[in-house]
């Protein structure tokens, strides 16, 4: 059930008259706690944004209904005719078959299995739609308008609750044969557990580097005799305290950055990839970025991947979806 304003809040950046010959697209980022939408012209320029809570919302049909409300709101509030919507695209938080338009599996938070999201969206919105994994939509955006503009080979690393990678090789997203390439939360590096991971459990890498893993590190190490800080801190707060000199927080930061650096090093070796872009709510923290970058720089001279911070932040996913929607407008014919 929706716990915030069902209609969400329209954040109208500017009002632009409809361009009948070109029209508009809407991109979406479907997350476990929020749904973000943005309407843009066919040049990809964002006209307005919209956001609603998805806390407790799990049924795909309800999510699609909420998306429809958001689209309607964006058009109304910007005085645009809904008929000028040309296409729609969404980033979904899970393994997504882009060709079939199906979300194969999301984490336990959403619990989706084989959801025909594209068909649901096209039936509801009446325009061509595209779906993609949300980390991949963010990678697309970083490649088009963000930190990796014009770079043909790079990996976008999203560190939030967990960790995922969007791999761009030779200018194209690399999906893998079952659409699950880049699910790097499961990587085994020095310092991670080697115990087999049950389905639905966090992977070995994200148990240390993901937001939840960083919190768990803190709670395990926490002791009132060695720090004045609260036992209940989230990852970004722990990193803030590390920057402010708390020794325990610095230890957690160091361990997180080291583990992340090993994973990046491995990806650089296997993929022969020279550039990594760090994003996601935890990954955007400057302390994680700079510490990881310094650890990488102290490793082999032979393998020296560049580590950048995302320039788009929380807007990356929606911006990538906008790009996919523009593509869908010209390439997809509505099947109904």
Positions that interact with a second copy (CB under 8 A): 152-153, 165, 167, 169-170, 174-184, 186-192, 194, 196-199, 258, 262, 265-267, 269-274, 298-303
Question: Nearest approach, Cβ of 305 to a second copy (angstroms)?
Answer: 12
Place of tokens 């716990």: 3
CB-based contact 48:38 (threshold 8 Å): yes
Nearer to a second copy, 13 or 197 (CB): 197
Three-class secondary structure of residue 216 per DSSP: helix
Question: Nearest approach, Cβ of 268 to a second copy (angstroms)?
Answer: 9
For the chain, give the number of residues: 336
Place of tokens 């160091």: 254
Nearer to a second copy, 170 or 220 (CB): 170
Question: Nearest approach, Cβ of 186 to a second copy (angstroms)?
Answer: 5
Nearer to a second copy, 198 or 225 (CB): 198
Long-range interactions of 245-248: CB distance < 8 A, separation 24+: 248/218, 248/221, 248/222, 248/223
Question: Nearest approach, Cβ of 178 to a second copy (angstroms)?
Answer: 6
Nearer to a second copy, 9 or 297 (CB): 297
- Residue-by-residue DSSP string for 255-312: HHHHHHHHHHHHHHHHHT--EEEEESTTTT-HHHHHHHHHHHHTS-SS---EEEE-SS
Question: Nearest approach, Cβ of 277 to a second copy (angstroms)?
Answer: 16
Place of tokens 């583990």: 259
CB-based contact 138:312 (threshold 8 Å): yes
Of 168, 245, 244, 199, the closest CA to residue 106 belongs to 199
Question: Nearest approach, Cβ of 270 to a second copy (angstroms)?
Answer: 6
Question: Nearest approach, Cβ of 289 to a second copy (angstroms)?
Answer: 20
CB-based contact 210:159 (threshold 8 Å): yes
CA distance 155 to 274: 9
Nearer to a second copy, 264 or 318 (CB): 264
What is the signed CA dihedral for 276, 280, 282, 286, rounded to 10 degrees?
50
Nearer to a second copy, 78 or 106 (CB): 106
Question: Nearest approach, Cβ of 175 to a second copy (angstroms)?
Answer: 7
Nearer to a second copy, 33 or 304 (CB): 304
Nearer to a second copy, 60 or 164 (CB): 164
Q: Which helix (H) or strand (E) holds 167?
A: strand 163-169
């Amino acid at each position: 059930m929706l716990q915030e304003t069902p209609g969400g809040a329209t954040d109208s950046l500017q009002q632009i008259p409809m361009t009948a010959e070109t029209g508009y697209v809407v991109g979406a980022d479907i997350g476990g706690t929020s749904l973000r939408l943005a309407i843009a012209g066919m040049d990809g320029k964002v006209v307005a944004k919209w956001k609603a809570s998805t806390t407790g919302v799990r049924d795909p049909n309800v999510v699609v209904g909420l998306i429809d409300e958001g689209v309607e709101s964006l058009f109304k509030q910007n005085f645009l005719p809904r008929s000028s919507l040309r296409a729609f695209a969404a980033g979904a938080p899970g393994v997504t078959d882009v060709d079939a338009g199906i979300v194969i599996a999301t984490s336990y938070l959403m619990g989706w299995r084989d959801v025909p999201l594209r068909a649901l969206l096209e039936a509801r919105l009446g325009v061509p739609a595209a779906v993609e994994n949300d980390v991949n939509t963010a990678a697309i955006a970083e490649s088009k308008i963000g930190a990796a503009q014009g770079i043909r080979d790079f990996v976008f690393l999203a560190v939030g609750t967990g960790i995922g990678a969007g791999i761009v090789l030779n200018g194209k997203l690399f999906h893998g044969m079952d659409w699950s390439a880049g699910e790097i939360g499961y990587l085994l590096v020095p310092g991670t557990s080697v115990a087999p991971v049950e389905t639905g459990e966090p992977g070995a890498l994200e148990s240390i580097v993901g937001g939840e893993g960083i919190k768990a590190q803190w709670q395990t190490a926490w002791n009132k005799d060695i720090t004045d800080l609260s036992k209940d801190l989230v990852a970004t707060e722990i990193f803030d305290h590390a920057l402010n000199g708390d020794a325990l927080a610095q230890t957690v930061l160091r361990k997180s950055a080291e583990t992340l650096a090993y994973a990046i090093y491995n990806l650089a070796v296997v993929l022969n990839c020279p550039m990594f872009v760090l994003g996601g709510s935890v990954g955007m923290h400057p302390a994680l970025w700079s510490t990881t970058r310094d650890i990488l720089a102290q490793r082999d001279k032979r393998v020296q991947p560049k580590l950048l911070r995302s320039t788009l932040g929380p807007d990356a996913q929606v911006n990538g979806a906008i790009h996919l929607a523009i593509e869908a407008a010209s390439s997809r014919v509505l099947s109904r």
